[in-house]
Structure 1
Amino acid sequence: MTFSTEDYEDVISPYEDPLIINPIIGQNKIWKVMVDTGSSANILFHKTYCKMNLAGEQLEPCNEAPLYAIGGHPIQFEETITLPVLLGKLPYTAEKLVKFYVVRIESPPEDMPGLDPKTATHCSNVQPEAKPVKQKKRTFAVERQKVIEAEVEKLLEARFIEEIEYPDWLANVVVVKKSNGKWRMCVDYTDLNKACPKDHYPLPNID
Structure 2
Amino acid sequence: MGDEADDVLRGLKLSATDQHEYTKVREGFESFFIVRKNIVYERARFNMRKQEANETVNVFVTALHALAEHCNYGTLHDELIRDRIVVGLADARLSERMQMEKDLNLEKAINMARQSEEIKKQQNTLRSDASSVVQMDAATVDRVFEGRKQRDKNLSTPLLGFPAITALGLLKRVDSIDLDTLKSTYPRLCSGLGEVKRAYHIKLKPNAVPFSLKTPRRIPLPLVEKVKEELQRMEELGVISRVEEPTDWCAGMVVIPKKNSPRLRLCVDYTGLNEYVCREKYILPSVDQSLGMLAGAKPFSKLNANMGFWQIPLAKDR
TM-score above 0.5: no
Higher relative contact order (CA 8 A, sep 6+): 1
**TM-score normalised to the size of structure 2?**
0.28
**TM-score normalised to the size of structure 1?**
0.40
- The structure whose residues are more often helix, as a share, is 2
Q: Rg bigger for which structure?
A: 2
